[in-house]
Amino acid sequence: MDKSKRIILVLIVLLLIIGLLVIVLVNHQGKINKQTNSDIEQTATITGFTEIKDHKTYYTIREIINNYIVYMKQINGDEYVDASRLNMTKEELKEVMQNDGTTAIKEILDEQYIDDLNITDDQIQKMQNKYMKNGTYSQEVIYNLNVDDVFTYNLTENITIALVDARINDEEFDLLIKLDKENGTYSLFLEDYITKYKYDKNMSKKDINIDNKRIQKNSYNSNINMNPTDSYIVSQYFSEYRMKMLNDTIEAYKLLDTEYSQKKYSSYENFENYVNSNRKKIEYASINKYQVTEHDGTKEYVCIDNNGKYYIFIEETAAKYKVVLDVYTTDLPEFLEKYKTNDGKIKVGMNIQKIFEAINDEDYRYVYNKLDNTFKQNNFPDEASFEEYVKQNFAHNQLEYENCKEEGNLYMFDVTVTEGTESSKEAVRKTFVMKLLEGTDFVMSFNVN
């Protein structure tokens, strides 16, 4: 065999070997992919609980918890009752209230739970005691409820269980709620059951041992079926956050949008000082008007209270939100959208509106930091002198925009500032000189006299 034929033969053999190797590798990779897909499918199917997404289920669960807390407070002596008007001694009142609360809780506990742990009336009462704050029935005590997470799993088409991760007065409060959608009823499994069977959001379906038995209606476990509207959700967010500001300021601080919190307060202590300085206003605040907007799938509930104060709830999912307390510290999506699509004169007007929102909010530092440096040095060498001027000249103001002209890179905007009440008004004409900077930033000055 000559040399050329031997070379051809070697090449043919090499090609056959390479072909066989390719076939082996492809088959092996196919098995790996098949195994990987199988593992993914298995992981998806073994996990039982999923995070709650809809407002209807969340607020139904929340109402059930609120009812439970009422009975808990009856047992703990944290509900105000005037014993003298009922012609009872304090001991008699305590016995009646504890019996009523215990009966109510027993009626909403699941039969499986009671049988499994041999629950007695005495155990029911003891389990509530860790949340006790006063215990004398002499005052109405607020129980601060923080629901951190709710996860649900459908046992059947009509039977759902909800795993609740919450806190009452900073004490852990975990609960399993069984919902019977067809009967409109519910039942509870308390923390000791969750601990015994190691319930958590990641547990597999096979470990969920709650039966799908229907829940029969009684006097305590029915007629809980919420259909929350935007108005209801706004009122819940508004009330909930105000209560956190007044009673759980740390939690309220944690709920602030991160960028906003850093720019506005920079530390918890500054936020706490703000709350303490405005405690009366927060306590008696009510919603004056609200608007619901949606941007890129994110809902915003914008509230203005009776003092003109903003509460903006940026919703992540049902009952999970971040909070912004003004419209000038950070730029909301709707502001950015309008700002980017308008000319310089409109932008200047929007910035002036920001300035007066900050003044009405008594955020003098924000406005002071927007002053042109030369203007600042010549007229207001420190923040205190500027604050005094603003209080004397811009208190309780309304704006009327007039002429705006552009000279080079500066805008001159005439604005009439109306101060005082309907019966006693004073109008002052101011000319704001503004330079637009990068993004939405700006510096300004105005005629002081």
Q: Between these two residues, 360 and 21, which has the higher pLDDT value?
A: 360
Closest by CA position to 256, among listed 246, 271, 235, 240:
271
Same domain, 372 and 322: no
Calculated CA dihedral for residues 215, 221, 225, 231, nearest 10 degrees: -160
What single-letter DSSP state applies at residue 211? -
Contact 436, 347 (CB under 8 A): yes
Structure tokens at 42: 């298995």
pLDDT for res 425 = 63
Please identify, among 334, 354, 377, the residue that sits at the C-terminal boundary of a domain.
334
Please identify, among 334, 365, 395, the residue that sits at the C-terminal boundary of a domain.
334
* Domain carrying residue 22: 1-46
What single-letter DSSP state applies at residue 255? T
The Cα–Cα gap between 165 and 98 comes to 26
- Determine, yes or no, domain membership for 155: yes
The region, left, alpha or beta by phi > 0 then psi within -120 to 50, assigned to residue 172 is beta
Contact 392, 407 (CB under 8 A): no
Contact 305, 286 (CB under 8 A): yes
Please identify, among 318, 334, 350, the residue that sits at the C-terminal boundary of a domain.
334
pLDDT for res 41 = 44
Report the domain count for the chain.
Answer: 4
- Determine, yes or no, domain membership for 298: yes
The Cα–Cα gap between 73 and 9 comes to 93
* Residue 427 confidence class, pLDDT cut points 50, 70, 90: confident
Query: pLDDT per residue over 72-101, tens digit each?
Result: 999 999 999 988 888 899 899 999 999 999
Same domain, 54 and 203: yes
Tell me how far apart the terminal alpha carbons of the chain are, to the nearest angstrom. Answer: 111
Same domain, 64 and 189: yes
Same domain, 125 and 191: yes
Same domain, 58 and 186: yes
- Determine, yes or no, domain membership for 217: no
Angle (deg, nearest 10), helices 55-76 and 90-108: 150
Query: pLDDT per residue over 305-359, tens digit each?
Result: 998 899 999 999 999 999 999 999 999 988 999 999 999 999 999 999 999 999 9
Judge whether residue 34 has pLDDT over 80.
no
- Determine, yes or no, domain membership for 180: yes
Same domain, 72 and 200: yes
- Determine, yes or no, domain membership for 430: yes
- Determine, yes or no, domain membership for 433: yes
Task: Check: pTM over 0.85? Answer yes or no.
Answer: no
Percent helix, strand, coil in the chain (nearest 5)?
45, 25, 30
DSSP string, 109-157: B-HHHHHHHT--HHHHHHHHGGG-S--SSSS-----EEEEEEEEEESSS
Angle (deg, nearest 10), helices 344-360 and 333-340: 150
Using a CB cutoff of 8 Å and minimum separation of 24, what contacts does 406-414 make?
Answer: 406/344, 406/345, 409/435, 409/436, 410/434, 410/435, 411/344, 411/345, 411/348, 411/435, 411/436, 413/345, 413/348, 413/349, 413/352
Q: Is 215 helix (H, G, I), strand (E, B) or coil?
A: coil
Judge whether residue 150 has pLDDT over 90.
yes
Contact 253, 268 (CB under 8 A): yes
The Cα–Cα gap between 284 and 311 comes to 14
What CATH number has the domain bearing residue 398? 3.10.450.100
The Cα–Cα gap between 75 and 109 comes to 16
Same domain, 271 and 393: no
Looking only at the bridges linking them, the beta strands covering 298-305 and 310-317 are antiparallel
- Determine, yes or no, domain membership for 212: no
Residues paired with residue 114 on neighbouring β-strands, in sequence order:
none
Contact 338, 331 (CB under 8 A): no
C-alpha distances out from residue 98 to 73, 118, 133, 191, Å: 9, 20, 15, 20
Query: pLDDT per residue over 258-294, tens digit each?
Result: 999 999 999 999 999 999 999 999 999 999 999 999 8
Same domain, 188 and 135: yes
Contact 138, 206 (CB under 8 A): no
C-alpha distances out from residue 171 to 122, 136, 148, 166, 219, Å: 21, 20, 12, 9, 29
Same domain, 359 and 418: yes
Same domain, 66 and 196: yes
The Cα–Cα gap between 79 and 135 comes to 8
- Determine, yes or no, domain membership for 218: no
Structure tokens at 41: 């499918």
Contact 443, 372 (CB under 8 A): yes
Instruction: For residues 377-385, give the mean pLDDT.
Output: 95
Closest by CA position to 189, among listed 351, 197, 332, 147:
197
Structure tokens at 57: 């289920």
In 410-448, which positions are buried (b, 16+ CB within 10 angstroms) versus exposed (e)?
ebebebebebeeeeeeeeeebebbbebeeebebbbbbee
pLDDT exceeding 70 applies to what percent of the chain? 87
Judge whether residue 396 has pLDDT over 60.
no
pLDDT for res 38 = 46
Same domain, 15 and 34: yes
Residues paired with residue 399 on neighbouring β-strands, in sequence order:
417
Same domain, 182 and 264: no
